[in-house]
Amino acid sequence: MNDLRLGVIGLGVRGELADLAHRPAAGSRVVACCDLDPKALSGVRDRFGPDVRTTTDHRELVAAGLDGVLVLTPDHTHEGIALDFLSNRVPVFLEKPMAITTTGCDRLLAAAQASGTRLYVGHNMRHLPVVMAMRQLVEEGAIGQVKAVWCRHFVGHGGDFYFKDWHADRRNTTGLLLQKGAHDLDVIHWLAGGYSRLVTGLGGLVVYGDIASRRDRTGERMTDWLAPAHNWPPLQQRDLNPVVDVEDLSMMQMRLDNGVFASYQQCHFTPDSWRNYTIIGTEGRIENFGDSDDVTIKLWNRRSDYHADADDSIHVQTPAGSHGGADPRLIEEFLDFIRHGGNTVTSPVAAREAVAAGYAATQSLRSGGRPIEIAPPDPALIAYFDNGQR
């Protein structure tokens, strides 16, 4: 079996996925790297070999004979870069969110179908052991028919992660409700078995907007300044991005197309960092404690007052690898998808629906909580991707 020839666009924080995909003589090899910052390219030959091609312009690689490309760049660039490769029939791994608007997602889906080129979106949380375990419990009927899903997302490191670089500028993300929420909204949809069709949102910039200390970090990477141990209390943060116009506190309500109701809450100034999902059905509820390390899922399915030990507890083993072992599984699936096509655990249509929910909720939030309806994608597109992009 010849190695797949892979290109990598963007060598920032998610550039670690390229290392997982680089398997010389074992199925895949990174042969080309692109980043706007020449400094980011300086070490790629040590990582991927002396013959790796480097460029600061991704368009130089669209006709370079690549078998696939990983697009790991900032959110607002995903759409344009992916369209260039899809139109040249190069299979694309696209980091989430697939775009920062619903129409941008629809353009990507249409381009993949029109060219017959495989599109894969990196929603790694579908490979996260705790999420997979909760979905299995739902599918086994442990709580009956799902009627409600809640998610509380505590982003305790938000001041360092998302308010000191491009994430803080809504031109690059639409907003953190979409940027961060795309993961959780996809999980909510997956666990509930449906997609959001009516949403409302509320929230604001309630803490980090009061910090006057700002600094332009052009040329820096998040890893250059990240110091979670010194990230408390939040108002002591310094050197935020010159533009800070995204919300640090947001919440949304959803009605899904199958009648399930859901809610999502996101806060960037909590002392702790984790996601808490609650799924309520006609015969019980499940809730996770922890999300990547030392994870327990608790099940309540008998009438009682609250009891912390629950009626059953499931300890979830966390394998080695980044993001609780999800990233290695994600890359494994993408490489197999390049070779064989077919259905995958992740879904471009579901990725679009996560963006659509987050995008609509952000518009609602910024218009005082106005309810917004979400239209589904073209049925022909849905059928194409449901059939494994064959």
pLDDT tens-digit map of 256-314:
999 999 999 999 999 999 999 999 999 999 999 998 888 999 999 999 998 999 999 99
- Position 11 in a domain: no
3-class DSSP state of 86:
helix
pLDDT at 180 over 90: yes
- Position 121 in a domain: no
Residue 48 pLDDT grade (very low, low, confident, very high; cuts 50, 70, 90): very high
pLDDT at 189 over 80: yes
Q: Where are the alpha helices (DSSP H) in the chain?
A: 16-21, 38-41, 44-48, 78-87, 102-115, 129-139, 158-161, 170-173, 176-179, 181-192, 222-225, 326-340, 348-365, 379-386
Mean pLDDT of 374-383: 96
Overall domain count for the chain: 1
- Position 50 in a domain: no
Mean pLDDT of 160-176: 96
The token pair that represents 200 in the structure block: 């409302």
Q: What does residue 362 show for φ and ψ, rounded to 5 degrees?
A: -65, -40
pLDDT for the residue numbered 266 = 98
Yes or no: say if 289 and 295 are a contact pair by the CB < 8 Å rule: yes
CATH number at residue 170: 3.30.360.10
Residue 300: DSSP 8-state: E
Q: Of 13-17, 49-53, 115-119, 255-259, which gets the smallest average pLDDT?
A: 13-17
Distance CA 37, CA 143 (A): 50
- Position 246 in a domain: yes
Residue 89 pLDDT grade (very low, low, confident, very high; cuts 50, 70, 90): very high
Q: How many percent of the chain have pLDDT more than 70? A: 100
pLDDT at 225 over 90: no
pLDDT for the residue numbered 259 = 98
Q: Of 188-192, 219-223, 269-273, 332-336, which gets the smallest average pLDDT?
A: 219-223
3-class DSSP state of 235:
helix
- Position 383 in a domain: no
∠ CA 309-154-103, rounded to 5°: 125
**How does pLDDT run across 327-376, given as a tens digit for each residue?**
999 999 999 999 999 999 999 999 999 999 999 999 999 999 999 999 99
Q: Quote the pTM value.
A: 0.97
- Considering the chain, what is the average pLDDT of its residues? 95
pLDDT for the residue numbered 323 = 85
Mean pLDDT of 146-167: 94
Residue 253 pLDDT grade (very low, low, confident, very high; cuts 50, 70, 90): very high
Q: What range defines the domain where residue 257 resides?
A: 126-326
pLDDT for the residue numbered 136 = 98
- Position 334 in a domain: no
pLDDT at 249 over 90: yes
Mean pLDDT of 163-178: 97
pLDDT for the residue numbered 99 = 98
Residue 230 pLDDT grade (very low, low, confident, very high; cuts 50, 70, 90): confident
- Position 335 in a domain: no
- Position 250 in a domain: yes
Residue predicted with more confidence, 14 or 94: 94
